[in-house]
C-alpha cells in the first residue's frame, strides 16, 4: 500500500457537486492498493498513520498524533500513486491492484482506521471522479509505502 499523508486544517471531498465527506483539523490520506498487498500491509500502514506524530506540541515540535488530539481523518482512494513513468511520458499503473481487490482492501482499511481513530473519519467514494478541497497545515506531507519502509 502507498499513502500520501497531508496535515490539514480542513478538507472535503465531493462527487457530482455533493459533499460526501469533510473534516476539520487532521490528516488527509490518499491511499493506493498494490496488487500484492495483504493484511500485513494493511496493518502496517494503518498503524503508521494513526501513530505518526505530525502535530505540534507546546514547544512547536512535531510530537502529537492524530489520536492524541482526537483530530479527524479523510481517506481518498487514489490508484495513481502507483503510476510509473519509467518507460516514457504516459503513466503505467500495472502495479496497482485490480478494482475488486482494491475496493475490498480500501474498505478494510477504513474499518481498521475507524476503530482506532478518536475523531471523525470521512472518506471519498471509491472509483468516482472526486473533487478534493483542502487547506494544508504547514505544509506537512509524508509518503508511506508498505513494501519500501526505508524512507
pLDDT exceeds 80 at position 112: yes
Buried b (16+ CB within 10 A) or exposed e, 28-40: bbbbbbbeebeee
DSSP code of residue 98: P
Q: What is the pLDDT of residue 151?
A: 62
- 49-100 pLDDT, tens digit per residue, is 999 999 999 999 999 999 999 999 999 999 999 999 998 999 999 999 999 9
- 136-150 pLDDT, tens digit per residue, is 999 999 999 999 887
Q: What percent of the chain has pLDDT over 90?
A: 93
- 11-40 pLDDT, tens digit per residue, is 999 999 999 999 999 999 999 999 999 999
Overall fold of domain 2-145: 3.50.80
Cell of 132: 478534493
List the catalytic residues: 78-80
Strands (E) in the chain, as ranges, are: 2-15, 18-23, 26-32, 53-56, 62-65, 72-77, 121-123, 130-145
Amino acid at each position: 500500500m502507498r499513502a500520501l499523508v497531508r496535515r490539514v486544517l480542513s478538507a472535503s471531498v465531493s462527487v457530482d457537486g455533493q459533499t460526501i465527506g469533510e473534516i476539520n483539523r487532521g490528516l488527509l490520506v490518499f491511499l493506493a492498493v498494490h496488487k500484492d498487498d495483504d493484511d500485513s500491509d494493511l496493518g502496517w500502514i494503518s498503524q503508521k498513520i494513526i501513530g505518526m506524530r505530525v502535530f505540534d506540541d507546546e514547544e512547536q515540535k512535531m510530537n502529537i498524533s492524530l489520536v492524541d488530539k482526537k483530530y479527524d481523518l479523510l481517506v481518498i482512494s487514489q490508484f495513481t500513486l502507483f503510476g510509473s513513468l519509467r518507460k516514457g511520458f504516459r503513466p503505467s499503473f500495472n502495479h496497482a491492484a485490480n478494482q475488486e481487490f482494491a475496493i475490498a482492501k480500501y474498505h478494510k482499511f477504513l474499518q481498521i482506521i475507524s476503530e482506532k481513530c478518536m475523531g471523525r473519519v470521512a472518506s471519498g467514494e471509491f472509483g468516482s471522479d472526486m473533487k478534493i478541497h483542502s487547506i494544508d497545515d504547514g505544509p506537512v506531507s509524508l509518503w508511506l509505502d508498505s513494501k519500501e519502509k526505508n524512507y
